[in-house]
A = this chain, B = another copy of it.
């Protein structure tokens, strides 16, 4: 694994300085990189058109080609997003806990960068720049491994980033791109415990599963969202229609969209026709048998409860009570975003307490699970794991901490 090792050694060397770099220097570096991306615009778009040509040649799907494509507007967006990271608060060397113990030692829990973050990602070239910006601002070096289909775009972007860093107080070695597309290098990255402190896979479930199964390096799972909205017996039905419509259809290709609607049996007859009327023109419904007794929709099978559609499809199930709703969510949910619509205080508390997910909503659309909405700024994704960070992974989630213990000669009895 000497190729990855070589990159790793460069990163570990760069890490020492970056980890304690002043915010001012990191912001200057981001600014210089923005300017450099602007200057390299033509090269980047030209490189991207090579990738697009190649993708068309192998008959890549239109959706995937669209993800891969860069144009002036998209590059503007990428540069704008990077500029915005300048305004975010530096998450490093802060403390929300300082205390003094009885022998006079003062202990401070201080935030520090993780060290080196590895990103393994699929076609979108914007990840190259986004992930770099978040890593730099949080004081972390970064090793990037994009998909082979975006290799020309990514190389051009990294070249522009490094050119920008060269004009800044931060070393260009803080970013290392894995230019070899052989999958073996992914495996090497996943085993590079000495050089990488955290790997974040960004892509589909298959990529995430591969990373989780093979990594000995710590990982952060920014996973899929099979999200539910439960409309309780006491729900305000108009509120519920709005919430379900928004959660399902405001944008369907996102991890916090609602995939299954659970409806309390006592209001099913009143509510289902309302929501069906509102959504039938844009959404395909798939229902359990009790649903189909009320509205005329396709039949849902077990795979419908399991699937993250990311599409204009909604599974619908009538449940006996809140306990059955919670049970369904625990069985099929991916612990991402879950909502209850209710006017009942006891049920609201029960649902919020019992449902095990990164975010649990009362009377609101699940679409708000987002680092920007939460006030965290840009994010690496939404973590569905329990360790380290759960929910939106912004700058404050890309650090660890250390304890400082300040004394005047204290020894232990």
Contact = CB atoms under 8 A, between A and B. Distances in A.
Contacts of A114: 386-387
Nearest to A411: B246
Interface stretch (A23-31, A66-74, A397-405): A397-405
Interface in A246-271: 246-247, 250
Given A112-B356, A386-B400, A411 B367 contact: yes
Contacts of A16: 330, 354
Interface in A307-364: 330, 352-354, 356-364
Contacts of A385: 218
A367 B412 contact: yes
A359 B20 contact: no
A409 B239 CA distance: 6
A97 B16 CA distance: 32
A405 B16 CA distance: 39
A386 B114 CA distance: 7
A110 B356 CA distance: 12
Nearest to A244: B411
Q: Is the interface of A mostly helix, strand, loop or mixed?
A: mixed
Interface residues on chain A, size class: 35 or more
Contact of A242 (B115, B247, B402, B409): B409
Given A408-B363, A412-B365, A356 B115 contact: yes
29 contacts: A16-B330, A19-B354, A19-B356, A101-B374, A105-B368, A107-B374, A114-B386, A115-B386, A193-B212, A197-B387, A218-B386, A218-B387, A239-B409, A359-B404, A361-B404, A361-B405, A361-B406, A362-B404, A362-B406, A363-B409, A365-B412, A367-B411, A368-B405, A368-B410, A387-B388, A390-B401, A390-B402, A390-B403, A391-B402
Given A352-B404, A361-B406, A368-B410, 9 more contacts: A20-B354, A93-B353, A101-B373, A245-B411, A358-B402, A361-B407, A363-B410, A364-B405, A387-B388
